Amino acid sequence: MAAAHANGADRGAVDGDRVPTTEDDEPLTVFNQKPGTLGQDRYLLTNPAGFSSHSEGFEFTIGLNTSRIQASTTVTRYRAVADTGPGMRSSENDTSNLLGIFDDPNNATFARGSTYFDRGTLLRMWVAVQLPAGIRAASIGNYQDGLPYARVWPVPLNQGVIGILRGQRGPGNQGTTGGMRTTHYQTIDARFSKNFKIGSGSLVASLDIFNISNLALNQVQMEVTSHEAQWRAPIQVQSPRSFQPGIRYTW
């Protein structure tokens, strides 16, 4: 491998000025394989020092249960940090799989960060209430931190076009806060239902309302970026508010 310097994306900014070779850019070291060594790779079993993983977290739940109201709130705080591959896919960020981090020194660039599954903070609330006229109402609210995020910069090298992380994914180890996340996700859903006695059976009429707030938050953001591409562009967006009536008869 031979080290080479290339102008990276804008330094430390979410979007920057999107103009190459300006003062907010910084060089990024990549390793270009010597053409004469292509196709001659050999694997060596090794166990070098300095690679580890770490996880910690807690869960807090409080509930209420009366004859007319049942409610619960759960808060989960979790953090996992490991030396993993540079990708954003779940298979590339498994804490038990280093995925070529020893094969290619480019894979080690900003590799230490939160795993793909690590959303950090999760909040779930639900409440069920018995209303007058025999109507039962229930609602569930969910909040999730965004996924650990880092821009992936395509670099053409002798061994092919590879992607290099332009920053650390999510918070780092031992309380550090470097790195970014995608947009958070939250939704509130509700159900109203009423039971009607009909002969020997019963009919339950219900109305489900999904995404009551009608938010359009980003669920997935584009990771591959360049000076010409829109950084952090949404490629999957939350479904809009919807209504779903239902009828169920049992006997």
**Cα–Cα distance between 8 and 225 in angstroms, integer?**
11
- Per-residue pLDDT tens digits for 113-153: 888 788 889 999 999 999 999 999 999 999 999 888 888 88
Would you say residue 7 has pLDDT above 60?
no
Name which residue leads in pLDDT, 137 or 13. 137
pLDDT attached to residue 69: 94
Would you say residue 1 has pLDDT above 70?
no
Mean predicted confidence (pLDDT) in 12-41: 72
DSSP string, the chain: -EEEEEEEEESS-SSTT--TTSTTEEEEEEEEPPGGGTT---------SS--EEEEEEEEEEEEE-SSEEEEEEEEEEEEEEE--S-SSGGGS-TT--TTTTT-GGGGTT-EEE-TT--SEEEEEEEEEE-GGGEEEEEEEEEEPPPEE--EEEEEETTEEEEEESS-BSS-STT---SEE---EEEEEEEEEEEEEETTEEEEEEEEEE-TT----EEEE--B--SSSPTT-EEEE----EEEEEEEEE-
Would you say residue 9 has pLDDT above 60?
no
Would you say residue 160 has pLDDT above 50?
yes
CB 226 within 8 A of CB 184: no
Name which residue leads in pLDDT, 48 or 204. 204
Name which residue leads in pLDDT, 185 or 49. 185
pLDDT attached to residue 175: 62
pLDDT attached to residue 86: 66
Report residue 214's pLDDT band, with 50, 70 and 90 as the boundaries: very high
Would you say residue 8 has pLDDT above 70?
no
Would you say residue 82 has pLDDT above 50?
yes
**Cα–Cα distance between 88 and 152 in angstroms, integer?**
9
CB 182 within 8 A of CB 149: yes
- Per mean pLDDT, which range of 37-46, 114-123, 173-182, 185-194 is the poorest? 173-182
pLDDT attached to residue 19: 63
Mean predicted confidence (pLDDT) in 34-62: 83
Name which of 82, 149, 148, 150 is nearest 112 in CA terms.
82
pLDDT attached to residue 15: 46
CB 76 within 8 A of CB 122: yes
